[in-house]
């Protein structure tokens, strides 16, 4: 696993509010959700808790790639793009369960494996 660039790690630590997580169906139709239950795994991958996925999980099962958009408290945006892995057991799942609020079901952990990162039009990775 490649560590995310330091500027992205700092931005992640300073993010403001929910992230926007987007997948696509088999026909390329996008589906975006706000996700508040997210975590950074070993400074290299973003993990999104599946608390109430419906279309998102269907898209993941069909092999969708994804993008995750977040904004810092200063208003700077970052977009992370990559492939997905869905886990219902193992290290990623245990990591998600460690911070996901108990009031949410945490059916699975979706792992965004970074392939590209942007801040505005600037490519960072």
> What is the 3-state secondary structure of 66-81?
EEEEEEECCCCEEEEE
Q: Quick one: pLDDT at residue 119?
A: 97
CATH number at residue 15: 2.30.110.10
Q: Quick one: pLDDT at residue 9?
A: 97
Which residues constitute the domain of residue 112?
6-123
In the structure encoding, which two tokens stand for residue 80, read together? 């992370």
Q: Quick one: pLDDT at residue 23?
A: 98
- Mean pLDDT, contiguous 10-residue spans, the chain (125 residues): 92 97 96 97 97 96 97 98 98 98 97 96 95
Residue 1 domain flag: no
Residue 118 domain flag: yes
Number of domains making up the chain: 1
The answer for residues whose C-beta is within 8 angstroms of residue 7's C-beta and 6 or more apart is 119, 124
pTM over 0.85: yes
């Amino acid at each position: 696993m490649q560590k995310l660039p330091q500027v992205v790690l700092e931005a992640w630590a300073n993010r403001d509010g929910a992230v926007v997580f987007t997948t696509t169906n088999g026909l390329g139709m996008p589906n975006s959700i706000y996700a508040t239950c997210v975590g950074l795994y070993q400074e290299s991958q973003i993990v999104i808790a599946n608390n109430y996925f419906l279309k998102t999980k269907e898209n993941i099962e069909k092999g969708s790639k994804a993008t995750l958009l977040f904004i810092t408290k200063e208003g700077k945006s970052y977009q992370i793009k990559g492939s997905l892995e869905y886990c219902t057991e193992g290290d990623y799942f245990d990591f998600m369960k460690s911070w996901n609020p108990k009031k949410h079901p945490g059916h699975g952990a979706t792992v965004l494996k970074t392939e590209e990162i942007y801040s505005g039009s600037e490519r960072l990775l």
